[in-house]
Structure 1
Amino acid sequence: MYTQQFATKYCNPNGTWFENNGSKWTNFSQCKNPAPPYPSIIQNSLPSIKMMSQIGYAVSLVSLVLALIILISIKRLRCPRNTLHMHLFVSFFLRAFMTILKSMLFVNGIGLPNSISFPTEEDGVAPFKTNHPNWECKLVVSFWQYALVANYFWILMEGLYLHNLIFLAPFSDSSAITLYVILGWGCPILVVSSWVLSRIYLDDTFCWTTHDSPDAPFKLFLIVQIPIIVSIV
């Protein structure tokens, strides 16, 4: 029986309860076989959503590789602006590559096969091996976080460069991009390093895809998301 569901009765037009074979009838069908809740619909759709995501990232990888080959091979396209575009393309490439790699290597998105005990528990959760260092999966998660943050920062660098090119140097395309390159790849290192240190000292759990402390997820979320939000705004 499912105690969180409801039993129903039918009221006749004359104000009496419906009776079946001389006894008052009650519908207990929801208690015995409840309708699947809305989250289960999302759960059933996750494999399709994941497949669509992987296909999209794969198409992006191929397109980005072709774009980089074109920009590198044609000398006439070599200029500071296109060089900056190439860095942006590389950041998108790293994000797509690390996302696909993490999805392919991790079991249920939580850890590498050598970090998880099989078979899984009754609730479908694969338990971690408590005596395993898990440094490989932590490294993958850290690089994935770096690729994600770097991608957003390079979108910011692209916008800053175009802004400065239009308003500060409208008649020249010779603006140095060294500072943009340093900021685009360097700032994400600072952000992810802070996240890694916070993980080590505040919530060093298995592959850094799960949490033990109830307050840790929000704090760790802010470490990465605040710089991303600032870069977007």
Structure 2
Amino acid sequence: MGTMDISSILLCLSLMGWIRMVSSTHAECSIIHHLQKQENECMLEMNKHRGQHPSSSNQTAGCAIEWDGVSCWPWALVGETVSVSCPLPLQHHNLPHVLIWRNCTSQGWSRPSVSYYRACFHDESSIEEDDTADQEYFALVKLMYSVGYGVSLGSLCVAVLIFLTFRRLLCTRTYIHLNLFSTFILRGVAVFVKDAVLFEDKTLDHCTVSTVGCKVAVTFFQYCVLANFFWLLVEGLFLQTLLIFSFANKRTFFWWYTFIGWGTPSVTIVIWTLLQSQYNNLGCWDDLDSALWWIIKTPILISVFVNFIVFVNISRIIVMKTKTPDSSGGDKPLCRRLAKSTLLLIPLFGVHYIVFALFPEHVGIKARLLFELVLGSFQGFIVALLYCFLNAEVQNEIRKAVSRCRTQTEGNNFNMVVTQDFTA
């Protein structure tokens, strides 16, 4: 097979790699694994044939078994024609079936009748144009979510610093906010670590590499994603608790929420890690086609659907409380103040995830990447904006601190002037 044909196949595989690079798994890996399996079977057939027919290595006896990088061509007599089809993982069901044939000549195998690229994809020009457009799109998505996570990391670190600086802001509600901020920070860091470990080296075959480092990076990433979803769930549950139980012991609830937010992901990841190492210890543990992926995906889907139900219930409770004539006047401002930011946040992490949760992974991949990766990358920034920068209590504390600093500065300047006049 010619060099151009091999490079065309690799171009297609690299495009698929771009798709999965931004969605944390590899679609092309199934193709590479299929080709590796076929190559191993072909090598075994070669060795078997050589053992049975030692003289068959002579070219005049025919054409030897050959692996061309995609297909295994069987032993054939001179003058015989052998055909193979496009490899199964590369076949398009909506395109006509094309056979690739070669003649066995006295000089060896002839060139293929048609390139694999043309046989598998038919219209090379349109495919190459689509490849270029798709690669540009996925590169743009990767750039956008990298910028988004960078902005989120910066804003969340500032928000955490603000809450820790102004100790009077700390309460059960802000402790939950800080835990949520922490999961967004960890998630952003995990994304950059995973991309650096898995995709920084372009020459590395990430489909076959299987190191402790890449497995740790993927495991850490999955844990951060789980923790992030469950602390988003905790935010909704906590608001619902405040609206239903006005005089509840918030400290007791906080420990339960801590177990939900950190404990549930920890237990899930431990189970997933043990099963992965025992039954599917291949690659970097980032194969979303594995059945073990449901150990992680199921809790995430449950948290998303529960959060959506909580959102609907919170909306109902707030409407009832604000419209009830005999509700205490102190409760209404509290309900509105506490609910405002969360009501704005819950649709962000609930509605669009539910929409895509109902479809398979391969459906609407461009829209899915746009919503789940690009929008999700800026989610930490929006959380910091709603819960910290636009929070009235935080703004009041900052104004007081600025006022005290200004007053102290003016007082120091006045004392300096008086001292200078006295010593003059």
Name the residue aligned to 2:193: 101
Q: Does 1:59 align with 2:139?
A: no
Name the residue aligned to 1:223: 295
Q: Distance in 1 between matches of 2:159 and 2:168?
A: 14
Q: Comparing both structures, which one devotes a greater share of its residues to helix?
A: 2
CA 1:174/1:205 → structure 2, altered by over 3 Å: closer, same or farther?
A: closer
Q: Distance in 2 between matches of 1:223 and 1:157?
A: 20
| One of 140, 145, 148 as aligned partner of 1:48 | 140
Report how many residues are paired.
Answer: 189
| One of 192, 202, 210 as aligned partner of 2:279 | 202
Please give the residue correspondences for 1:23-102 in structure 2 after superposition, counting only pairs within 5 Å.
33-36=124-127, 38=130, 41-102=133-194
| One of 141, 146, 151 as aligned partner of 2:228 | 151
CA 1:104/1:147 → structure 2, altered by over 3 Å: closer, same or farther?
A: same
CA offset at residue 165 of structure 1? 1.2
- With normalisation by structure 2, the TM-score equals 0.40
Contact 2:229 2:304 in 1 (8 A): yes
CA 1:31/1:174 → structure 2, altered by over 3 Å: closer, same or farther?
A: closer
CA offset at residue 171 of structure 1? 4.8
Name the residue aligned to 2:260: 183
Q: Distance in 1 between matches of 2:221 and 2:180?
A: 16
Q: Summarize deviations over 1:89-120 as a string: whole Å, max 9, x none.
A: 10111111101121123226xxxx5xxxx856
CA offset at residue 39 of structure 1? 5.8
CA 1:159/1:46 → structure 2, altered by over 3 Å: closer, same or farther?
A: same
Q: Distance in 2 between matches of 1:87 and 1:33?
A: 51
Contact 1:142 1:192 in 2 (8 A): yes
Identity %: 29
CA offset at residue 74 of structure 1? 0.3
Q: Summarize deviations over 1:113-167 as a string: whole Å, max 9, x none.
A: 5xxxx856xxxx55645xxx61111111111100000000001111111111110
Counterpart code for 1:137: C
Q: Summarize deviations over 1:11-30 as a string: whole Å, max 9, x none.
A: xxxxxxxxxxxxxxxxxxx9
Name the residue aligned to 1:15: none
Contact 1:98 1:147 in 2 (8 A): yes
CA offset at residue 179 of structure 1? 1.6
5+ residue gaps in structure 1?
7-29, 211-215
Aligned-pair RMSD on alpha carbons? 3.0
Contact 1:165 1:175 in 2 (8 A): no
Counterpart code for 1:56: G
Counterpart code for 1:79: C
User: 1:204 aligns to what SS in structure 2?
Assistant: coil
Q: Distance in 1 between matches of 2:232 and 2:147?
A: 23
Contact 2:206 2:283 in 1 (8 A): no
Q: Distance in 2 between matches of 1:197 and 1:66?
A: 37
